[in-house]
Amino acid sequence: MNILLLGSGGREHAFARQLSSSPLCKHLYIAPGNAGTALVGENIAIGVTDFPQIKQFCLEKKIEMVVVGPEEPLVKGIFEFFLEDKELSSILVVGPSLKGALLEGSKDFAKAFMERHHIPTARYASFTKETIEEGLSFLETMRAPYVLKADGLAAGKGVVILDNLQEAKAELKRMLLEEKFGKASQRVVIEEFLKGIELSCFVLTDGEHFKILPTAKDYKRIGEGDTGLNTGGMGAVSPVPFADKSFMEKVLERIIIPTLKGLKIECVTYRGFIFIGLIKVGDDPFVIEYNVRMGDPETEVVLPRIQTDLVELLKATAEGNLNKINLSIDPRSATTVVAVSGGYPEEYQKGKVISGLDNETESIVFHAGTSEKDGKIITNGGRVLAVTSLDNNFKEALKKSYRELEKIHFENIYFRKDIGFDL
């Protein structure tokens, strides 16, 4: 089949590599893609939310399935855009409907959904400009640290955690009155701080059936020892060693099944990935957040462990046949280490030539922020590459990724040398 993949990061290179290697894939296009996706498919210069252009392209190239990488097209309703257009409605779209995408698009919606379906999560309340006085009083009833979340999408920056009550009150005012995160912070969720260790679990559902994909843990902070600013993710490990059988049974019973039942009861069409951000408090799982897509860099450790044909798996998801699929997982561990441009997540430079990519490798080098210029691969983003390796345990896999990174160079390259340090 002809497939269109939307996105341009390491996640999309991981999807593209696996989709293109399927015998079921006739032609793979990536919009807009990067220099890595260009090695396994054909990049096209269309933005991920340019729905009219996407439509025209799908008709012209006889696309049969659209796979959506990032959240934005989903939260903007790409599922309905296809479903409700006579010319597009026969094209499979892997992803949730608009209402399903609200699980990520609105923290308030997600919290209320969890409350309705008795899914364990931090205690919370939501406030707007009109109810700011109640919000300030609510903060006084909470204990530090204070967790404030912009309701809408804020490019991963909308969560602020503060130790001091006065600072928390000032932040609430900035978010609600000055719209610090624009429209996204017109509503703010204040929630109880949970202390524990985080991990992510990924579910693929066709609305009726589901498959649990490998767990992963990502490392969000720029600095070693989980210090410094938050980033998109500096590395990841799969599986997560502390997510043992008894813990995962709790996740299934208390979180996955109630989430899927909740979607069904509320008549929410959902044929795609659910990324559940979890925190393990004592021995119990709590939901920190839902995302309606795969994670980046989690995808770079989850997909390489999936041995089932990815086109078959996603086609079955979109067609409602997931029960007919036998999901086969590589028992080995996967790790990925992300190489970034110096300065990221603050200001950084682009256009640096990357060398050492064409060596023989025992790893998989996924491109994130790269592009091609005059036959050379250059940096084109903060997160530049994600180097994934597989081995019998995550420590051995990590050694391979670090060996590979020794061969790769670009000006001001930086990566964390302690991925997995807390496991």
What residues line the site for ligand AMP (CB under 6 A)?
Answer: 122, 147, 149, 159, 191, 193-194, 198, 277, 288-289
Tell me how far, at minimum, the Cβ of 253 lies from ligand AMP, in Å: 22
Counting every residue written for the chain, the total comes to: 423
Which residues share a beta bridge with 234?
none
* Contact of residue 296 among ligand AMP, ligand GLY, none (CB under 5-8 Å per partner type): ligand GLY
Task: Please state the closest distance from residue 3 (CB atom) to ligand GLY, in A.
Answer: 22
Q: How far is the CB of 22 from ligand AMP (least distance, A)?
A: 32
Nearer of residues 6 and 25 to ligand GLY, judged by Cβ: 6
Matching residue, tokens 């410094």: 228
Residue with smaller CB distance to ligand GLY, 238 or 291: 291
Q: How far apart are CA 15 and CA 366, in angstroms?
A: 10
User: Closer CB to ligand AMP, residue 215 or residue 363?
Assistant: 215
Contact 113, 302 (CB under 8 A): no
Pick the closer one to ligand AMP by CB: 191 or 309.
Answer: 191
Q: Please check whether residue 32 is in contact with residue 16, taking contact to mean a CB–CB distance below 8 angstroms.
A: no
Element (H, E) at 218: strand 210-218
In this complex, which beta carbon is closest to ligand GLY, that of residue 127 or of residue 290? 290
Contact 357, 379 (CB under 8 A): no
The answer to whether residues 370 and 412 touch, using CB atoms and an 8 Å cutoff, is no
Q: Strands, DSSP E only, in 82-174? A: 92-96, 124-128, 146-150, 159-162
d(CA 232, CA 161): 17
Q: Closest separation between CB of residue 103 and ligand AMP, Å?
A: 12
User: Cβ 395 to ligand GLY, closest distance in Å?
Assistant: 22
* Residue whose CB is less far from ligand GLY, 156 or 351: 156
Dihedral, CA of residue 262, residue 266, residue 271 and residue 276, to nearest 10: -40
Element (H, E) at 404: helix 394-407
Tell me if residue 390 falls in helix, strand or coil: strand
Contacts to ligand GLY by CB under 6 A: 218, 233, 291, 295-296, 298
Nearest distance in Å: CB 293, ligand GLY: 8
**Which of ligand GLY, ligand AMP, none does 320 bind, CB closer than 5 to 8 A by kind?**
none
